[in-house]
A and B are shown apart, each in its own frame.
Chain A
Amino acid sequence: MPFVPHTEEELWQMLDVIGVDSIEQLFDEIPGELRCGELQGLGPGLWEQEISRLMQGKARQDGQPLCFIGAGAYDHHIPAAVWQLASRGEYYTAYTPYQAEASQGTLQLLYEYQSMMTELMDMDVSNASLYDGASALAEAVLMAVRANRKSRSRRILVPANLHPHYRATVQTLVKNQGIELVEIPYDRSTGQTDLQALVQHTGQDLAALVVPQPNFFGVLENVDALTEWARANAALSIAVVNPLAMAVLRPPGEWGKQGADICCGDGQPLGAPLSSGGPYFGFLCSKQTLVRQMPGRIIGRTVDLDGKEGFALTLQAREQHIRRSKATSNICTNQGLMVTAATIHMSLIGADGLIRIAGRCHSNLQLLVEKLTSLDEIEPLFSGPVFHETVLRLPLEPQRVLRTLAAHNILGGYNLAKHYPELGNALLVCATENHNQGDMDKYRLKMEQVLTSRRQGACATMAKFD
């Protein structure tokens, strides 16, 4: 009976107080026909040693490959202190800080998080998290539709070089409210959003334009032109950014003449391990004027009865527990623990540290590209500048290359064939500060062997035809 503390004697005492003979009797209001028999297929409970062996086996099965995949989830070093602190029971096992006096730790930390996030993004306000980057973008889209007073439009321009899973998620989450996502193509030579194509929408009634930085190809966008175009067309601009990159790139608050209106993204690069895609956290910041349209929790500083400073949830009239069907979103549970980790992560690393880590990611990518493109027939696909991820053209199908590399315990990147078949043999590769020279040499060597064996294989088949 794991985790249930009752002794036999206590059980009888408690039943006696209640005035029943058995636990069974406590369920007597439930119609008999609804009662189920013993659950099937669950087996007996395991003790901690047994479940540990089981999980260790599973973990070993997945190995620890050398990974060059990014595509929205990035392998960064996380200071040891981050999860040692975030795993403290006082953070790990508390809940939403409704009882402010008994939650000042979490509340102050979230206020600090909001402060750090607005600094990093150069925006006025931040909420206390949403689920992940993709769902945060969906919330940003809904927020823009509510907030754009100049336009009644429900059309949102979304560039095709935005992460395909983000586009899919937004579609799922907003389509039932009659919001239309209009795709903007990318420039085939630079990889950037096609300004020419955007201009065709000039003068249309639009709610917002989505601007990724970097985009899914790793390419940096001409954010000023895009933000200004949006403003000129009475559309709000929604930035979708990598938070680590914002330590070194101009942040959304500085885009164009007045900055982006809303910015969001995935906080994973700030202290969340890869962990098969989650939990991460979605962040959402905006201009002050839009704060009442924000979804999710927001923490404010105030004072107590004695005039002492403290923190509390605020602007709750936006939220479902107060507003019900008129709330800005249905979100309740968010990703608090991930934000706890991110706050500690940012404090430990600081602006200078983030700048160095971003710099190392960038120089490692340059090195990786240099090594791989030194091989015959591998070349960068796009000319636009990149941060820590880029698209390479391969001489053969990425799927085949990746399979062979995986057999050597290297995950060589993300194959773009499914979402961008028009790009041919295109592979998205990423480098971070977690890679070193040896890793990249290993990748280059294996890649070379794959290409050589292909050439020899091809010669062999040709020989047969002769």
Chain B
Amino acid sequence: MDELIPRTQTLIMLIFEHSKSGRRAQAQAPMADDGLSGIPDDLKRKRKPRLPEVSEMQAVRHYTRLSQKNFSIDTQFYPLGSCTMKYNPRACNTLAMLPGLINRHPLAPDSHSQGFLSTMYELQEILKEVTGMSAVSLAPMAGAQGEFAGIAMIRAYHDALGDTGRTEILVPDAAHGTNPATAVMCGYKAREIPSKADGDVDMDALEAALGPQTAGIMLTNPSTLGVFERRIKEIAGRVHEAGGLLYYDGANLNAILGRVRPGDMGFDVIHMNLHKTFSTPHGGGGPGAGPVGVSKRLQPFLPIPMVGTDGHDYHWLSEEQCPQSIGRLSAFAGNAGILLRAYVYAKMLGAEGMQRVADYSTLNANYMLKRLMDAGFTAAYPQRRATHEFIITLKNEARELGINAMDFAKRLLDYGIHAPTTYFPLLVPECFLIEPTETEAKESLDAFIDAMIKIREEARTDAKRVRGAPYTLPVRRLDDVRAARELDLRWQAEEEEERA
């Protein structure tokens, strides 16, 4: 076997290994070297950084080839639960990159910013309407920063009332990891509350946890268990009675867009993930945008900057206009280019299109769930409706066939389907969190179900083969333990390696 694979194929070709000393893409820098006559010698760099020395074509070829090793929405079905991997319309990208927008300096005066500012103002208004909140700030740069802003506002609210004994944020056990991590970053203790067998929050446990130390609760609705929290009004009532506020993690807003509004459920503050619900790209890890919306009582604390208007012109709202703000979250105004993309998307959908998002993402999820159940897979919450996503547990397959959720996930890759979210939420064993989104056609959903059935068949006849998957990708399963133990986090020039 080894002889059949040329040695070169077992080694990765890094961009650095295409380098030749003295080579460069000459069109990509001024012809002349102007020197640095105004800079004292002792501040100047002596040794050049060892960046790649390649031609323009070599760089283009290298990064084109690398891209071909990725799964992406544009090339594969990507039902990654909680991430809303829907189609990213190309128009959003093109229009956010129009010259007047892409070249606008963040500190340009209002006289040269009315086009941009009016767009941001309109987006604030759209998001207010969609969420049912009183005011919106677009400042946070991703969901987790939106969470930070939200919990910091809750804290600022209690502080403003002189209510400093509130030290805890309640977080359901099913919550995303960013929720408890955020609570801690805001100086709170995160206290977990359990979910019941039907997926809803355990009211007795909530009751027991509430008290004068409760600053608030963070909830996702529909929850990360893929079900709608039916007693949300009651929860809101109880938390408010105890003096706490309610935070809405908007990662799952796609499920209820245009149908239910977090503001109407009784939430005081929410964040949205525009890179999920509003279809801005995920970019191999980011950037995102995590605007926050608030009810009246939290309005003074919103993060700056925001955009205001006198009915005619638009202007920034900053420290001067918002003295109680929790402050800035970035050097400028957050991920503006992403906000532009979300605006374009929202305008293309309109009111009716928004509702269709919830309708068809819910339709797709319920269809997949039903077909999987009919095929003998186990739903985590069989008595519940799926929302825009749902969970199946592969614990039976793990027990009977020796094939766990990770094995299924890796084998799905061989079928040309990106794996769903695995092993999250943590409380469902061997789980898949599956979110098809509204932009996926029935054919893709059917292909996924067929693949799951085939993999289970395969497992019955040749479990080892499934456990060894994937086979068709650039690499097979990677040694994570070695990655963490023998840290290799960067390329090193040969002479340096020899020295080491």
Contact = CB atoms under 8 A, between A and B. Distances in A.
B455 interface: no
Contacts of A90: 67-68, 70, 72, 74-75
Most chain B beta carbons < 10 A, residue from A131, A300, A319: A131
B483 A300 contact: yes
B35 interface: yes
Contacts of B32: 356
B478 A33 contact: no
Interface in B315-370: 326-338, 340, 344, 346-357, 359-360, 362-364, 366-367, 370
Contacts of B12: 108, 301, 309-311
Interface in A163-192: 163, 165-166, 168-169, 171-173, 176-178
A352 B26 CA distance: 10
B456 to A, nearest CB: 20
B350 A13 contact: no
Interface in A17-65: 17-20, 23, 26-31, 33-36, 38-48, 51-52, 54-65
A459 interface: no
Interface residues of A, number: 203
B165 interface: no
Interface in B454-477: 468, 470, 473-477
B104 interface: yes
B385 A349 contact: no
B70 A278 contact: no
A40 B477 CA distance: 50
Interface residues of B, number: 205
A385 B413 contact: no
B25 A349 contact: yes
A90 B88 CA distance: 12
Given A90-B72, A266-B331, A356-B33, A305 B438 contact: no
| Highest count of chain B CB atoms <10 Å: which of A2, A93, A104, A403 | A93
Nearest to A330: B181
Nearest to B10: A308
Interface string A318-356: 011111111101111111111110011011111111111
A420 interface: no
Interface string A73-93: 101000101010101111111
Contact of A92 (B30, B56, B72, B104): B72
Contact of A104 (B132, B328, B338, B473): B473
B394 to A, nearest CB: 16
A27 B259 contact: yes
A17 B367 contact: yes
Given A89-B73, A323-B177, A335-B287, A4 B413 contact: no
Contacts of A302: 478-480, 482-483, 486, 488
A102 interface: yes
B101 A58 contact: yes
Interface string B81-108: 0010111110101111111111111111
A176 B152 contact: yes
B337 A324 contact: no
Interface string A133-151: 1110000000000000000
A359 B442 contact: no
B327 A169 contact: yes
Nearest to A169: B328
A31 B407 CA distance: 39
Among the interface residues B53, B107, B155, B259, which one has the most CB atoms of the partner chain A within 10 A? B107
B160 interface: no
Given A40-B129, A109-B63, A353-B29, A62 B104 contact: yes
Interface string B172-202: 0000111011111111011000000000000
Contacts of B409: 99
A362 B329 CA distance: 31
Specify which of B34, B62, B97, B130 lies most central, judged by the most chain A CB atoms within 10 Å of its CB: B34
Contact of B337 (A96, A111, A112, A276): A276
Given A92-B72, A249-B45, A353-B29, A324 B100 contact: no
B54 interface: yes
B328 A102 contact: no
Given A135-B329, A249-B43, A51 B113 contact: no
B238 interface: no
B427 interface: no
Nearest to A273: B102
Interface string B39-70: 11011111011111110100110111011111
A96 B402 CA distance: 28
Contacts of A466: none
A163 B384 CA distance: 52
A312 to B, nearest CB: 5
B63 to A, nearest CB: 5
Contacts of B54: 347-348, 350
6 contacts: A38-B355, A39-B130, A39-B258, A39-B354, A104-B475, A131-B142
Given A273-B103, A305-B476, 17 more contacts: A28-B385, A30-B260, A34-B264, A51-B348, A92-B88, A92-B281, A99-B409, A104-B66, A132-B332, A169-B330, A220-B39, A300-B483, A302-B478, A304-B477, A309-B12, A330-B148, A334-B285
